[in-house]
Chains A and B, each alone.
Chain A
């Protein structure tokens, strides 16, 4: 017995030093956990989004959406999207209680009928407002939504990035795999490649123009999502980010959807 002790001691010293026992899967998971932990405590935020859809021949169409998000301890975030343009959907509002692997709870307020409708949110792979973003690309990023595999570190612009693969754990995801570039300091998601169910490259997201809020939280000013198979792209311009605005659960109730301006 006493002979083993030095061996165990020796192992416990050498393993962290060489990093041999940490698999790429564990390292990927640790990065994802660290990214989530880094963003923790933002409490709530509001922002305005200009979404420009562009088709293959270059025709554009524009949407204006205001977004309010509330951080929820131990579950996915609550978010409210208020549509201001195009004019025919003005006043439409979408409320989402996101959950990790369970389908989200989602309600839609339809101003023409003055009706709040609970909708099925199982299909997270569907396009958001006719854009190249799917609902699952815009939803709150929870660690358990994927399994991970760390690939390498490499420079990305002026930063240094972790490159890792993410495999959706959600059964109805539209993807088999994603490759994500996260910067090593602020866990900013710089770029994501999305591979479809047939494992071919479907889309690439490039985020840029990052701003830091409250001296800590990073948010992109621009997100450009190109669909390589259809030639369509969508540019999101994020404006007027505000954090810790005092939003509470009361601002995210399905029955208040009708009155919210």
Chain B
């Protein structure tokens, strides 16, 4: 026993000696400009996040390990207070094969306004409404390089439920989602083993990806129900689904054309959806070093309006200023307009570095002319300004 403890101690010492430590700690303050739509929702909020990462390698870089955690402490929104393992991974390189075993977060796809093809990780919804914050997914992943393309084989044991705000939280559904009552179509519930395949290749200026997924849908169907005190709530129901996806990006002069298309088949619905558009960049505008990019993307969904998600017939117009200065200053602004009912949401985000280690972000989000039947109606009074200061180490 004593030897085992000593051995473990030695292992920990050698691991921590070989490890690199990095990450960030951030404080965020948000103020909502209108009184809340639902009872108990707060007007302002203050929250902290901590994202440490350790990693290291051995065997001359053929073996790597990494551990990345995410923790959030929240003043008023208990639903946002959470911890997650974004990465806890052993990676082994064997010539043209790469094995990844453990928990990982990955990103598939190319479009900027919507991420249809990206279905491996569950969305960490309480962290943002754009779907770019994700929960770590357990997996056994083989990546194989061939002359004619890269193949990914993924076996995904262990399902992650989507996070949702609790009743105090802004930017939530009209009825609170009771995550304790999650149900599954599969009798194996969250232990169902999902799998996915992907082929990707670069042909000159064209990048192409074709993917396939079979297993538990990351997008729950929200069903009306009651909590244990008899209050009306929504309960998440996770279906089984099969999804085929294509993503493509073509670079031509100042243009970048992007497309994502999916076909999804599940008990509740079989449907197609796509997002397509372009980005055009003006380099060095007005004889400065500032680059200005314009983005236009259109999203469509074949489901009937009342079953589709928010982006069923919507146009995204965005602009990106890259100042190319020492502080890496950037401004991004984006408009979503629903082509059916003209509901609009607008977001502008600016960020820059302060000194060598700090980064500040200022974000403004508004919702206007929201149609009462649009899914955005629940967010109608959730316009906000947010300031985040992050320290990186």
Q: Which residues of A contact B (CB under 8 A)?
A: 53, 55, 61-62, 85-91, 103, 105, 113-116, 118, 120, 122-123, 125-127, 129-131, 172, 174, 250, 253-256, 259, 261
Contact = CB atoms under 8 A, between A and B. Distances in A.
Contacts of A254: 202
Given A86-B357, A126-B289, A255 B105 contact: no
Given A61-B327, A86-B357, A250-B145, 5 more contacts: A86-B356, A87-B392, A90-B392, A123-B283, A130-B327
Contacts of A174: 284
Contacts of A120: 251, 254, 256, 281
B357 A255 contact: no
B326 A255 contact: no
A88 B251 contact: no
Given A61-B326, A126-B324, A127-B324, A259 B253 contact: no
A91 to B, nearest CB: 7
Nearest to A115: B107
B326 A55 contact: yes
A123 B143 contact: no
A123 B143 CA distance: 33
Interface string B17-59: 0001010100000000000000000000000000000010100
Contacts of A127: 289, 324
A172 B282 CA distance: 12
Contacts of B284: 123, 125-126, 174
Contact of B326 (A53, A85, A88, A103): A53
Contact of B281 (A103, A123, A253, A259): A123
Contacts of B55: 261
Contacts of A114: 105-107
Specify the main secondary structure of chain B where it touches its partner.
strand
Contact of B22 (A91, A105, A123): A91
Closest 4 CB pairs of A and B: A87-B392, A123-B283, A115-B107, A130-B326
A103 B256 CA distance: 14
B61 interface: yes
Contacts of A125: 283-284
B197 to A, nearest CB: 15
A115 B247 CA distance: 14
Q: How large is the interface on B (under 10, 10 to 19, 20 to 34, 35 or more residues)?
A: 35 or more
Interface in B284-332: 284, 289, 291, 324-328
Contact of B392 (A88, A122, A123, A259): A88
A260 B137 CA distance: 21
Specify the main secondary structure of chain A where it touches its partner.
loop
B106 A122 contact: no
B200 interface: yes
B61 A113 contact: no
A129 B322 CA distance: 11
B393 A87 contact: yes
Contacts of B326: 53, 55, 61, 130-131
Interface string B88-119: 00010100101000000111000000000000
A129 to B, nearest CB: 8
B22 A130 contact: no
A126 B207 contact: no
A260 B283 CA distance: 30
A90 B132 CA distance: 19
A122 B327 contact: no
28 contacts: A61-B327, A86-B392, A87-B24, A87-B393, A88-B353, A88-B357, A113-B132, A114-B106, A120-B254, A120-B256, A120-B281, A123-B283, A126-B283, A129-B328, A130-B325, A130-B326, A130-B327, A131-B326, A172-B283, A174-B284, A250-B145, A254-B202, A255-B143, A255-B150, A255-B200, A259-B91, A261-B20, A261-B61
Contacts of A256: 98
A125 B290 CA distance: 12
A89 B393 CA distance: 10
A261 B56 CA distance: 8
A126 B353 contact: no
Given A113-B107, A120-B256, A255-B200, A126 B291 contact: yes
A88 B357 CA distance: 7
A62 B98 CA distance: 34
Q: Which of B283, B326, B392 has the most CB of A within 10 A?
A: B326
A259 B98 contact: yes
A61 B357 CA distance: 11
A250 B98 CA distance: 12
B345 interface: no
Given A114-B106, A130-B327, A255-B150, A88 B254 contact: no
Contact of B356 (A55, A87, A172, A261): A87
A115 B108 CA distance: 8
